[in-house]
Amino acid sequence: MSAITRQDLVDFVYREARLLDELDYDTWLGLFTEDGRYWMPAEWRQTDPKLQPSLMYEDLLLLKVRVERLAGARTFSQKPKSRAQHLLQMPQIDRFEPDAGSFRTWTPFHYVETRHDVQTLYAGWATHELVTIDGALKIRLKRVDLLNFDAPHGNIQLFM
């Protein structure tokens, strides 16, 4: 088994975005640790997802429920299905501790979500807290900070 490299971290972030763009949620869920979280703060530089309101703060169980809802035959709000595209800048590596199996990346992005003739653009930064489990990278926390976090948002249907 080879050691994790900086390029592995960059490739991981790009692969995760592609899985989301291709609506391959089952594979995407497999990227998370059992205690993994997906967090979208509702405030600038928010530090606590439990004591402050968030746009989303979901554990793996809630992520699975949401994926099942998106795939459901009776999810009429998803007929036709929403689609998305990520445009990522090169991920920056904020923490690289291969001996501890601990890594953090920071990636500015533009994200477009579309359904019917409605197209919504979001911009922000994604932070991935990654760990290695059995030699594979896994997401312990994905934090999505929107540039316009304080704006009123409609339903964000998919994952950024």
Determine contact, residues 98/4, Cβ cutoff 8 Å: yes
The answer to whether residue 41 sits within a structural domain is yes
- In the chain, the number of structural domains is 1
pLDDT in tens, 47-97: 999 999 899 999 999 999 988 888 766 766 667 777 889 999 999 999 999
- pTM confidence score: 0.92
Q: Could you give the angle at the alpha carbon of 153 between the alpha carbons of 150 and 159, nearest 5°?
A: 105
Q: State the Cα–Cα distance between residues 159 and 21, nearest whole angstrom.
A: 9
For 82, the domain range is 6-146
Which residue type is seen at 120?
T
The answer to whether residue 159 sits within a structural domain is no
pLDDT in tens, 80-93: 777 889 999 999 99
Mean pLDDT of 89-108: 97
Q: Is 100 exposed, middle or buried (0-12, 13-18, 19+ CB in 10 A)?
A: exposed
CATH of the domain at 142: 3.10.450.50
Rg for the chain (alpha carbons), in Å? 16
Q: Is 65 exposed, middle or buried (0-12, 13-18, 19+ CB in 10 A)?
A: exposed
Structure confidence at residue 75 (pLDDT): 65
Mean pLDDT of 1-20: 93
Res. 1: pLDDT tops 60:
no
Mean pLDDT of 32-51: 94
